[in-house]
A and B are shown apart, each in its own frame.
Chain A
Amino acid sequence: EAQVTQNPRYLITVTGKKLTVTCSQNMNHEYMSWYRQDPGLGLRQIYYSMNVEVTDKGDVPEGYKVSRKEKRNFPLILESPSPNQTSLYFCASSPSGDHGYTFGSGTRLTVV
């Protein structure tokens, strides 16, 4: 089944403790992207990648890192999480920008 898989689905962590949210797609898509969703703000793009080793900042990149060492994987790294990064995170992939994205099921992160 074609899908985008994120792990974990739920995560509670403490301020300053580094964490990684994994994202993997099995559709051989070139484009991958991370979003955060907050009530009333819709989804905002954090980082995106157009291919292996090619990444760029979205609208809200502060406090996040990404890497794209393989085409299928695009992990999101929070080096020092803070409470304002408590949010619902989505990974998505697309064969190209005009095809629309396939989204993962989301990761709900709580930073205390």
Chain B
Amino acid sequence: AQSVTQPDIHITVSEGASLELRCNYSYGATPYLFWYVQSPGQGLQLLLKYFSGDTLVQGIKGFEAEFKRSQSSFNLRKPSVHWSDAAEYFCAVGEGNMLTFGGGTRLMVKP
């Protein structure tokens, strides 16, 4: 069965600093990989997705993620964080209609 691990439950960064959120997955084949963001009281919004091809994927709001097969990782990055990026971030692995989420990483942004 597929599984997703987000090792960091909470991360705090200063506004303007760079960000990397970690995601590791367990899956037998090349998975479909997603990053979602959840702002307080809101549903989940898709940031980016990876299916195949270029391992560096660009998403919305200035986010990008890199798929590394050898490390079974799909880390999310942003070069300069804005206060509005404070939210919870979820990595997910997809197979057909099954979507398995990690436990989430809550990002706090210091002024």
Contacts and interface: CB of A to CB of B under 8 A. Distances in A.
Interface of A: 4, 31, 33, 35, 40-45, 48-50, 56, 58-59, 90, 92, 94, 97-106
A31 B9 CA distance: 30
B43 A45 contact: no
A98 B32 contact: yes
B43 A97 contact: no
B101 A97 contact: no
Interface in B42-90: 42-46, 49, 51, 90
Contact of B101 (A42, A56, A102, A106): A42
Name B's interface SS: strand
Interface in B1-42: 4, 9, 32, 34, 36, 42
A98 B44 CA distance: 16
A46 to B, nearest CB: 12
A42 B32 contact: no
Interface of B: 4, 9, 32, 34, 36, 42-46, 49, 51, 90, 94-104
Contacts of B42: 105-106
B99 A45 contact: yes
B6 to A, nearest CB: 8
Contacts of B99: 33, 45, 97, 101
A101 B34 CA distance: 10
A41 B97 contact: no
B55 to A, nearest CB: 17
Given A42-B102, A44-B101, A98-B49, 7 more contacts: A45-B100, A90-B43, A90-B44, A97-B95, A97-B98, A98-B51, A100-B49
Nearest to A54: B97
B44 A58 contact: no
